[in-house]
Amino acid sequence: MAAVPALPVSLSGRFKGSVAYFTIKDRLPQILTRVIDTLHRHKNEFFEEHGEKGVEAEKRAISFLSKLRNELQTDKPVTPLEDELPDAALWNQYLDYQRNLPNGNGEPSWFQSPWLYIECYMYRRIHAALAQNPPIDNFDVFKEGKAQNFFESQEAIIALCTYFQELLKNIKDLDEKQLQEELFKLLQVSLWGNKCDLSFSAGEDSSQKSSPLQSLENMVPYILVNDMEKVWSLLVNAKKNRTERSNVRVDIILDNAGFELLSDLVLADFLLSSKLADEIYFHGKSIPWYVSDTTKHDFNWTIRQLGSANHMWMSRCGINWEGNLKKGVWVFCDHMFWTLPHDFSNMSDVAPDLYAELQKSNLLLFKGDLNYRKLTGDRKWEYSVPFHQALNKFHPAPLCSLRTLKCDTQVGLKPGQGEQIQASEPEWMVSGKYGVIQFDAGL
């Protein structure tokens, strides 16, 4: 039997000067400080809603978070979770696994352990700070930022909703070539929508200001892997082979709320309206995550905001989408696995139910940088390693990643391609300027 090649090392804060190091040193403490400020700012609201109990809970949450920030900044060992939330045992087992890694670096700690683990762990501890402190246990510390991104992207949202509603008027008359062109446009809007995340900017404004459709052509050279043709072929073939009992199903593993979510919803509506798909499953997060990731609340809130907007095409979108949810042709799901520290190659063991669910899909669209890191294990891969290999046996169904590059891992490039960009633009992997639409056909 051919030897299985060893996996490359994980990205980690122990590599000084890396994005991981910079993120753990600067960006994560900044995010924690913002979370603490947010709680402070809501003190009066907690008092009005819950009286003294609300204020006590806020103080306890703040002290928990200050302790967390101190542990991070002084590179303390990672401690087991002490709450009794449903995923706590899995997190603690994962800590044991990290402790026992044969090539591990001693006791897991903030700067020594894999970055992916540490970063996810921080968001899970933020969640614990609130969840353990009723009556403010349902407070989403990132909610305001997500709403702000939505409102500040208003013009871009109007431009996109207007474009889309105009398109719907004659979608039935479009020939295959025209449908393909529209799909390609909306895939690119959804790709570049991923620039708008708030963990990358440590919570600073990152809304979409200009019309998302105008600059698409100029941005084509920045798509380093462009597998849109493959996505199109898959969808067209699925449509042709569809029988009465077999629906074409597309799953979108969502990333950020705000403008990015809008771009995903428009893409999802296009897939249904063009009859390239019959049903869309959206996968969001079950707890507040990476500052701007979409929870069920954000998803419903966004659709409600659109529905009640003062703009005809925005509200048309919102009302139609509410209808899709009611009819069951759009389904929102939020499995706990998406907010565990495991990369996706572990899904079939850790969350076999979710893996089985994804196997029912014709196409999985993974949005964003964190999903890409979890798809490829967040490792120091050679740029030219095939995407299929980096997926490390994660093949529930054909999949495509739509991701702007914000951290230093990338696979599936042509030989020399990465090195060439590196020579002229050292920041190419972390600036969010480049993107990939990267497809894997599965087994």
Give the footprint of ligand F6P on this chain (CB under 6 A).
23, 27, 119, 194, 197, 199-200, 255-256, 290, 368-370, 406-407
The residue from 58, 152, 197, 269 that contacts Mg ion (CB under 5 A) is 197
Q: Which does 406 bind (CB under 5 to 8 A by kind): ligand F6P, Mg ion, none?
A: ligand F6P
Single out the segment in contact with Mg ion by CB under 5 A; choices: 33-41, 247-255, 380-388, 427-435.
Answer: 247-255
Tokens matching residue 362: 């014709």
Q: Of the two residues 185 and 285, which places its CB atom closer to ligand F6P in the complex?
A: 285
CA 344 – CA 356 distance, rounded (Å): 13
Q: Which does 407 bind (CB under 5 to 8 A by kind): Mg ion, ligand F6P, none?
A: ligand F6P
Residue 24 CB, shortest distance to ligand F6P, in Å, is: 9
Tokens matching residue 375: 């798809």
Closest CA to 117 of 85, 95, 102: 95
Contacts of 216 by beta carbon, 8 Å cutoff, 6+ apart? 185, 188, 189, 192
Q: Of the two residues 57 and 430, which places its CB atom closer to ligand F6P in the complex?
A: 430
Single out the segment in contact with Mg ion by CB under 5 A; choices: 71-79, 135-143, 268-276, 283-291.
Answer: 283-291
DSSP code for 207 = -
CA 16 – CA 21 distance, rounded (Å): 6
Q: Of the two residues 248 and 365, which places its CB atom closer to Mg ion in the complex?
A: 365
Q: Which does 200 bind (CB under 5 to 8 A by kind): Mg ion, ligand F6P, none?
A: ligand F6P
Strand partners, 285: 295
Q: Of the two residues 46 and 434, which places its CB atom closer to ligand F6P in the complex?
A: 434
Q: Which does 53 bind (CB under 5 to 8 A by kind): Mg ion, ligand F6P, none?
A: none
Peptide bond into 29 cis (omega under 30): no
Residue 197 CB, shortest distance to Mg ion, in Å, is: 4
CA 381 – CA 397 distance, rounded (Å): 23
Residue 438 CB, shortest distance to ligand F6P, in Å, is: 14
DSSP three-state, residue 379: strand
Q: Of the two residues 255 and 378, which places its CB atom closer to Mg ion in the complex?
A: 255
Distances, alpha carbon 273 to alpha carbons 137, 235, 244, in Å: 40, 13, 18
Q: Which helix (H) or strand (E) holds 249?
A: strand 249-253
255 binds Mg ion (CB under 5 A): yes
Single out the segment in contact with Mg ion by CB under 5 A; choices: 229-237, 250-258, 278-286, 397-405.
Answer: 250-258
Q: Which does 194 bind (CB under 5 to 8 A by kind): Mg ion, ligand F6P, none?
A: ligand F6P
- The residue count for binding Mg ion (CB under 5 A) is 5
Dihedral sign computed on CA atoms, order 46, 47, 52, 58? positive
Q: Of the two residues 207 and 256, which places its CB atom closer to Mg ion in the complex?
A: 256
Residue 202 CB, shortest distance to ligand F6P, in Å, is: 8
293 binds Mg ion (CB under 5 A): yes
Contacts of 137 by beta carbon, 8 Å cutoff, 6+ apart? 57, 130, 131
Q: Of the two residues 129 and 253, which places its CB atom closer to Mg ion in the complex?
A: 253
Distances, alpha carbon 230 to alpha carbons 30, 183, 213, 410, in Å: 40, 12, 22, 20
CA 398 – CA 439 distance, rounded (Å): 8
Q: Which does 294 bind (CB under 5 to 8 A by kind): ligand F6P, Mg ion, none?
A: none
Q: Of the two residues 31 and 277, which places its CB atom closer to ligand F6P in the complex?
A: 31
Q: Of the two residues 133 and 294, which places its CB atom closer to Mg ion in the complex?
A: 294
Burial-class residue 100 by CB neighbours within 10 Å (0-12, 13-18, 19+): exposed
CA 59 – CA 63 distance, rounded (Å): 6
Q: Of the two residues 185 and 374, which places its CB atom closer to ligand F6P in the complex?
A: 374
23 binds Mg ion (CB under 5 A): no
Q: Which does 187 bind (CB under 5 to 8 A by kind): ligand F6P, Mg ion, none?
A: none
Residue 252 CB, shortest distance to ligand F6P, in Å, is: 14
Q: Say if CB 248 and CB 276 are below 8 A apart.
A: yes
Closest CA to 197 of 151, 107, 279, 261: 261
Single out the segment in contact with Mg ion by CB under 5 A; choices: 129-137, 190-198, 344-352, 423-431.
Answer: 190-198
Binding residues (CB under 5 A) for Mg ion: these are 197, 255-256, 290, 293
